[in-house]
Amino acid sequence: MTVTRGFQGRRDRRTVDLPPGQHLAAGFPVLSTGPAHNEPTSSWAFSIGSPRGGTRTWSWAQMMQLPTDRITADIHCVTRWSMLGTTWTGISLDVLFEDVDVQYPYALVHSYGGYTTNLPMVDLVGGKAWIAFEFDGRPLTAEHGGPARLLVPHLYFWKSAKWVKGLSLLTTDQPGFWERHGYHNYGDPWREERHADD
């Protein structure tokens, strides 16, 4: 843990704020199963598909017309590093869902490069999930998922798919990449839902 001397009170607060088994990261680690898959914004598109509702697609230019949020959030990786008070700019999924039939209980998130992760729809609505395109006031770098990634800070960070390109809304839950490889299906850091049998 890197803590500057003289910030004793702050360190105490931060220690209390960490979910069980987590420590503060020094810097912003990069965790990817393979190389970056950052799509140029000229060809980037984001789609939401549903069994009955067809598919709704936004180009980068259309996305950039939508209202944005400034988000300050703590993030927690299942490999035990956390960062507190990270700042992002993104579009709430609530905004994208205004135009979509969202009467489905599950979503599978898709990324450029083939990564997937699954979430219940209730975790994507109500101001809990964003398509983030800036970190710390700057465009999201390729290694951190640029031009845009999912940001779902209340769950372990593997749910925050980098290089995101869309969502499939589903009637039955379908595990994503890490969920098929032994990670917990839901991933609540406060309950230490790291592995399938936690």
Ligand X SMILES: Nc1nc2c(c(=O)[nH]1)N[C@H]1C(S)=C(S)[C@@H](COP(=O)(O)O)O[C@H]1N2
Provide the mask over 108-137, with x wherever binding to ligand X is found by CB under 6 A and - wherever it is not: ---x-x-x----------------------
Out of 18, 32, 53, 74, the only residue in the binding site for ligand X (CB under 6 A) is 32
Stretch that binds ligand X, among 51-59, 61-69, 88-96, 154-162 (CB under 6 A): 154-162
The binder of 163, among ligand X, Mo ion, none, by C-beta within 5 to 8 A per type, is: ligand X
Measuring CA to CA, which residue among 128, 126, 107, 110 is closest to residue 118?
A: 107
Out of 158, 176, 179, 184, the only residue in the binding site for ligand X (CB under 6 A) is 158
Closest distance between ligand X and the C-beta of residue 52, in Å?
A: 28
Q: Pairing state of beta strands 81-92 and 23-24?
A: parallel
* C-alpha–C-alpha distance, residues 157 and 162, integer Å: 10
Nearer Cβ to ligand X (102/124): 124
3-state helix, strand, coil in the chain (%, to 5): 20, 35, 50
Examine residue 31 and tell whether it contacts Mo ion (CB under 5 A).
yes
Residue 143, φ and ψ in degrees, nearest 5:
-65, -25
Q: Where are the alpha helices (DSSP H) in the chain?
A: 8-17, 60-63, 93-97, 177-180
Q: Give me the residues that bind ligand X (CB under 6 A), please.
A: 28-33, 77, 111, 113, 115, 144-145, 157-158, 160-163
